[in-house]
Amino acid sequence: MASDTSARPLAGKVAIVTGSGRGLGLAYAQELARQGAQVVVNDVDEAIAQAAVASITDAGGTATAVVAPVGPTQTADTLVQTAVDTYGRLDILVTNAGVLRDTVLWKMSDDDFDTVIGVHLRGTFTCVRAAATYMKNNEIAGRIITIGSPTGQRGNFGQTNYAAAKAGIVGMVRTWALELKRAGITANAVIPVAATAMTATVPYFAAAVEADEKGEPMPPFFRHDLGFGTSDDVAGLIAYLASDAAAGVTGQAIGIGGDRLQVWSHPEPVVTEYHDGGWTYDALESSFADIVAANTQSVGEKFPPLPDDLQRPQA
């Protein structure tokens, strides 16, 4: 880590990264620190949180930890208060904390649904509310960076709860971009595609995950064709959106993974038709096929076949 703090774009900034004990969140926290920010790390496990702090301080950065589950308002308030009490201010919030409870609709319990919504969606809301309130009241042109998912953009089998939460996060970001504009606070969603504990269980990504675990470069098929990479591949975008250079970017959903960067479109009508007197059943019966059925949109992600040299034997 560079010793000249003044030369780094986030020098003097203070950041909170929820769910940053390991994986993507840890990569975000480490990169923010590398670029000069003082970081509040968050995890539910004390040992993991302190190890994350050590990884930052050992590299010459500055960090402290808050051990608490994201979701409750009390945790959000504690995170903001810790940043202010420890480092004097708060400039950046990255809401990364999340859990998975994957199962098909007819097997998904109330607890499966509520747990995922509570951490991802409610946790993002409570943390952003606390951070944005502090920033606005203290006239800080802060940065709100939330974490979405391709599942929230496209849907995915067995992830009703996760898809709802991630789609909801992007919806909130668009609203916050409007509400916070006058205060100079930006709000954006990052849609990462990277090797994680979840993708490690998917046979399709086996060759990429194996390479990552060995510290070897991922095959170009994954990095380029699929936009699938490492946690570090995502972290640069987090730091950039947190910087003054991104002051004019707000309300966006930006995808990143491997060698690929994407701007996701906001939902727009693909076709618009009118019928005098309104759309009765009879009017729909005569026109539905030409208007709606001819323009139905795809759901879920569709991956190309793996090249032969990347195929792995099925267990």
Residues 6+ apart with CB under 8 A from 116: 98, 99, 100, 101, 161, 162, 165
Q: Please state, in angstroms and rounded to a whole number, the distance separating the CA atoms of residues 50 and 56.
A: 10
Q: Please state, in angstroms and rounded to a whole number, the distance separating the CA atoms of residues 106 and 112.
A: 12
Residues 6+ apart with CB under 8 A from 142: 90, 91, 92, 93, 131, 132, 135, 185, 186
Q: Which helix H or strand E contains 162, and what residues bound it?
A: helix 160-179
Name the catalytic one among 87, 166, 231, 243.
Answer: 166
What is residue 13's three-state secondary structure? coil
Q: Please state, in angstroms and rounded to a whole number, the distance separating the CA atoms of residues 148 and 166.
A: 5
Q: Please state, in angstroms and rounded to a whole number, the distance separating the CA atoms of residues 189 and 166.
A: 10
Name the catalytic one among 20, 134, 149, 243.
Answer: 149
Residue 166 annotated as catalytic: yes
Name the catalytic one among 162, 204, 265, 286.
Answer: 162
**CA 56, 243, 241, 134 torsion: positive or negative?**
positive
Q: Please state, in angstroms and rounded to a whole number, the distance separating the CA atoms of residues 69 and 124.
A: 12
* Active site amino acids: 149, 162, 166
